[in-house]
Amino acid sequence: MPTYSFIIMNFRSIFHIRLQNFELQAERMLDAALKSRAVAIISAHNANGTIVAISPEAGQEGLCKGMKVSLARKMSQSTRLLPYNRSLYSRMHNYLYQTVARFSPLVEPAVFGQFYMDMTGMNGIYKNDLRAGDMISKRINEVVRLENHIGISSNKLLSRISTSVVPERIYKIDSGEESHFLAPLHSRLLPTSAQPAVERMLRFLFLRQVQDVQFVMLQESAAQAIFSRYYKPLAMEAKGMDTSAVQPLRKQDHIIEQTILPEDTNDEEKLCAIVRQMAGQVGFKLRRRSEIARHMNLEIHYTDGYRSERTGSLKINDEASVVRDCLELFFRANIRRNRIRTIIIDASKFQTVACQLDLFSPTETQHRVLAEALDHIRRKHGFTIIKTAA
């Protein structure tokens, strides 16, 4: 006997919009000369970078996703290697979000070029799901001229799988057809199969298709023993069930300071000077809000793409304390000798300053008074008017 929530879930209408090879399409949209050329988008230009997306022409040259840039360069000199242009993709992704958001109040942006839309109850406006999908697809084509696929089903999982495997531009999986749709597909399409333990077991047991997994799941005790804690999610996925809801975009309150160094360096003196300056900015902003940050994250990006981060909190927002805490985070995060390219300080989880002032601690009072005086000057003449001598 199906539960009430299950019935409700089955009547949902979830759309998944996928712009295939979004990054590549975005680049080609900007530069028409790239349309017929072999193109690959790479994570970084250094030899350690990898290919993020490739055009079919580049695929014919033997390149593939995940391949190292150094190898790609050797294998195909004619392929144009483009650096990952995050700001371009981000702007285009936002633009697309605004475009599709006109069709439903519940739109969840996923990775670049992918969106979920909850279109439940919209048939009164668009008549049926297929027509709604068609309208959305045409609208995307009108505004950005990018090839897109739309999958429609009762949940996010099925819609997403359908856009990744079905060649049709718009495809709807009818309610009750979920497990039939999944049965012939490869078992690695099920999200839980990405877990190393599950992946290893699926390979070992030769469970190649979802129908094999479905079959194993019928032997409940055996399946439970084999997949242990992954049994339930895998069983649900194999049946085509997914109860997660479409989540609208949530804005988080952050103070983010980012510095891309003019020249990569591992000179600690230079780096400390930069951290001091960034910490000064963060402290200044916090004092303007009269808040402290319960969550502080300092992130370091090294030249070779390696990232290191450390997390702490700010209990006082005077200049000296913020600088001290940020420097401490920096020293903890900087665990390598390699040169640093970028430092990011991210403060969040703000809270109003409500600490007890200490009558007998003149240093803290001095710091507070000094910070107020500095802020006064900065407000009047701009932040950069005061520089630290380090």
Partner 1 sequence: MFTSLNTHSTFSKMRGTASLRDLLKHAVKYRMNHLALTEVNGIWGFIRFVQFAREFDIQPIAGVNLITDYDDVILLVENQQGYENMCRIISDVHDSRDVHVADLLKSRHDGLFVLAHEKHALAKLMQLIPATHLFVELRPGVEERTAKGLAKQFQLEIVATGDVYFISPEDQPAHKVLRTIEHNTTLTAIDPREVKSEAHYFRSEKEMATLFPNSLDAINNAQYLAERCKTDWQFLNTIFPNMDLKNTREASRKLRKLVYAGAEKRYGRLKMGNPIENRDLRIVNSEHRITNNNSSASSAVKKRINQELAIITEKGFAPYFLVVWDIVRQTNATIGRGSGAASIVSYCLFITQVDPLKYNLQFERFIHTERVDMPDIDIDFPWDERDDIIDYVFQKYGLHRTAMVSNQVFLQPRSAVREVAKVYGLSNEEIKVVTKRIGWHSRRSDLLHWIESDERFKNLNIDTTLKEILQISEKVIGAFRVSSVHPGGVVIVPDEIRKYVPVLMATKGVQILEWEKDQTEDSGLLKIDLLGNRSLAVVRDTLKQVGVYRSEYVDYHSIPSVGDPKTEALMQAGRTMGIFYIESPATRQLLAKAGKVDFEHVVIYSSIIRPAANRFTNLMLERIHGKAWKLPHPDLEFLSESYGIMVYEEQVSMAARVLAGFGYAESDYLRKVISRPALEHLVSAWRKKFISGMLKRGYNKKLALEMWAMVQSFSGYSFCKPHSASYAMLSFTCAYLKAHFPAEFLAAVISNQGGFYSAFAYLSEARRWRISILPPHINRSFKEYRGNKQRIRMGLMSIRNLKEKAVTQILEERKGADFSSLQDFFLRTDLDLADAMALANAGCFTELEREQSHQQIAFRIACHYLQDGEGEDILPSFGNKRLTHAEKIRLERESFGFPISEHPLTPWLPIFGGKIKKARDIPKYVGQTIQLAGVLITTKVTATRKHEPMEFITLEDETDIYECVMFPDVFAEYGDLLNWEKLFIIRGRVEVAFGVYTITIEKMGSMQRMGEKLMEKGISTSSVTAKGTGVWN
Nearest residue (CB) to partner 1, 74 versus 251: 74
Nearest approach, Cβ of residue 140 and partner 1 (Å) = 31
- DSSP structural state of residue 186: B
Q: Which is nearer to partner 1, 48 or 120 (CB)?
A: 48
CB of 297 to partner 1, least distance (A): 23
DSSP code, position 117:
E
Closer residue to partner 1 in complex, CB, 49/283: 49
Binding residues for partner 1 (CB under 8 A): 46-48, 60, 62, 70-71, 74-75, 200-201, 204-206, 215-216, 219, 221-222, 225-226, 228, 264-269, 302-304, 306, 337-340
Smallest distance from partner 1 to CB 65, Å: 16
Q: Which is nearer to partner 1, 226 or 316 (CB)?
A: 226
Q: Compare residues 75 and 274 and give the one whose CB is closer to partner 1.
A: 75
Kindly tell me which of 85 and 265 has the beta carbon lying closer to partner 1: 265
Q: What DSSP string describes 47-104? A: TT-BEEEE-HHHHHTT--TT-BHHHHHHH-SSSEEEE--HHHHHHHHHHHHHHHTTT-
Nearer to partner 1, 92 or 216 (CB): 216
* Closer residue to partner 1 (CB): 89 or 302: 302
Supply the minimum distance, in Å, between the C-beta of residue 208 and partner 1.
Answer: 9
Rounded least distance, CB 360 to partner 1, Å: 37
- How far, CA to CA in Å, does 34 sit from each of 29, 50, 313? 9, 20, 47
| Token digits of residue 205 | 């047991």
Long-range CB contacts (< 8 A, 24+ apart) of 132-139? Answer: 132/15, 132/103, 133/15, 133/170, 133/172, 134/170, 135/103, 136/15, 136/17, 136/100, 136/103, 137/17, 137/169, 137/170, 139/99, 139/100, 139/102, 139/103
Give kind and range of the element (H or E) at residue 269: helix 268-289
Task: Report how far residue 24's alpha carbon sits from residue 229's, in angstroms, rounded to the nearest whole number.
Answer: 38
Least CB distance to partner 1 at residue 332 (A): 14
In the numeric block, the tokens 């371009």 are attached to: 88
Smallest distance from partner 1 to CB 232, Å: 16
The least distance separating partner 1 from the CB of residue 317, rounded to whole angstroms, comes to: 29
CA distances (Å), origin 4, targets 1, 9, 11, 188: 9, 9, 11, 30
Q: Tell me how far, at minimum, the Cβ of 62 lies from partner 1, in Å.
A: 5
Dihedrals phi, psi of 339, to nearest 5 degrees: -70, 150
Contact 99, 82 (CB under 8 A): no
Distance CA 332, CA 64 (A): 37
With respect to partner 1, which residue has the nearer C-beta, 137 or 338?
338
Q: What is the 3-state secondary structure (H, E, C) of 196-237?
A: HHHHHHHHHCCCCEHHHHHHHHHCHHHHHHHHHHHHHHHHHH
